[in-house]
């Protein structure tokens, strides 16, 4: 119940951002939200990201949410790019403790919700913020192995 206030507030903020942002021609309709939107075209109002640090994960540290997020990671086909267990495939590993765009809950939320350059689609039009937060909670719950491969430059 402690999440009931945070989640609607977030939905409102996100909806507001999307409504004001530039809309790529022909790709965004109410019935078929496209995950593949150009990052720079939709990142935020006036080209500024919402401040990640001010976003609060309503499920932070919640084991049950992390478990649900793990199932979502597979069922939403995140593993198709990032690999089973988020260990990396054509997309980067999300379990090696390295974050190109920041590893705070808020930054990871934004990566999923708004997409990132070099191919990460924006799932904000497809996934509800509550779902995105569960994915964030799952990823943040993954233990970073003691030894990880040398960082890829890609």
Partner 1 sequence: MPSRLAARTAVRAVFAAAFALGALPAHAQTREDGQWTMPGKDYAATRYSGLNTITPANAGRLKPVWTFSTGVLRGHEGQPLVVGSTMYVVTPWPDVLYAFDLTKEGFPLRWKYRPDVDQAALGMACCDAINRGAFYAQGKVVYNTLDGHTIAVDAKTGREVWNVKVGDVSNGETMPMAPMIAGNRVIVGPSGGEYGIRGWTKALDLATGAPAWTGYNVGPDAEVLARPGTFKAFYDQGKDLALRSWPADAWKKAGAPVWGWLSYDPALDLVYFGVGNPGPYNPEQRAGDNKWTNSVLARRPGDGSLIWAYQFTPNDNWDYDSNAEMILADLTIKGVKRKTLVHFDKNGFAYTMDRTTGEVLLAEKYVFANWARSIDLKTGRPVLDTTKQTGASRGTINYICPSLEGGKSPASPAAYSPQTGLFYLATVNMCMNYATEKTTRLRGTPYIGATTPYTVGPGGNMGAFVAWDATTGHRVWEIKEKFPVWSGAVATAGNVVFYGTLDGWFRAADARTGKVLWSFKVGSGVVAAPITFKGPDGKQYVAVYSGIGGDWALLSGDTRSDDPKDVRDPADYAKELGRHTSQGGMVWVFGL
User: How many whole angstroms separate alpha carbon 121 and alpha carbon 80?
Assistant: 13
Tell me how crowded residue 113 is: count the other CB atoms within 10 A of its CB: 24
Contact between 130 and partner 1 per CB under 8 A: no
Interactions with partner 1, residue window 29-58 (CB under 8 A): 32, 34-39
| Of the residues 120, 132, 136, 142, which one makes contact with partner 1 according to CB under 8 A | 120
Cβ 49 vs Cβ 43: under 8 Å:
yes
Least spacing, CB of residue 18 vs partner 1, in Å: 16
Binding range to partner 1, per CB under 8 A, among 7-15, 48-56, 97-105, 115-123? 115-123
Contact between 84 and partner 1 per CB under 8 A: yes
Residue 55 vs 78, nearer CB to partner 1: 78
User: How many whole angstroms separate alpha carbon 15 and alpha carbon 77?
Assistant: 24
Residue 13 vs 148, nearer CB to partner 1: 148
Chain contacts with partner 1 (rule: CB under 8 A): 27, 32, 34-39, 74-81, 83-84, 87-91, 115, 117-121, 126, 147, 149-150, 152-154
């Amino acid at each position: 119940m402690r999440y009931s206030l945070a989640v609607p507030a977030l939905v409102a903020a996100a909806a507001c951002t999307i409504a004001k942002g530039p809309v790529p021609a022909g790709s965004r309709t109410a019935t078929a939200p496209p995950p593949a939107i150009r990052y720079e075209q939709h990142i935020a109002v006036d080209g500024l990201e919402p401040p990640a640090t001010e976003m609060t994960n309503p499920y932070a540290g919640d084991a049950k949410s992390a478990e649900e997020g793990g199932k979502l990671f597979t069922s939403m086909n995140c593993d198709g790019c990032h690999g089973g267990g988020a260990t990396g495939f054509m997309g980067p590993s999300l379990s090696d403790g390295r974050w190109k765009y920041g590893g705070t809950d808020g930054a990871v939320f934004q990566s999923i919700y708004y997409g990132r350059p070099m191919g990460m689609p924006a799932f904000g039009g497809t996934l509800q913020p509550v779902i995105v937060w569960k994915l964030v909670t799952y990823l943040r719950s993954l233990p970073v192995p003691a030894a990880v491969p040398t960082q890829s430059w890609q």
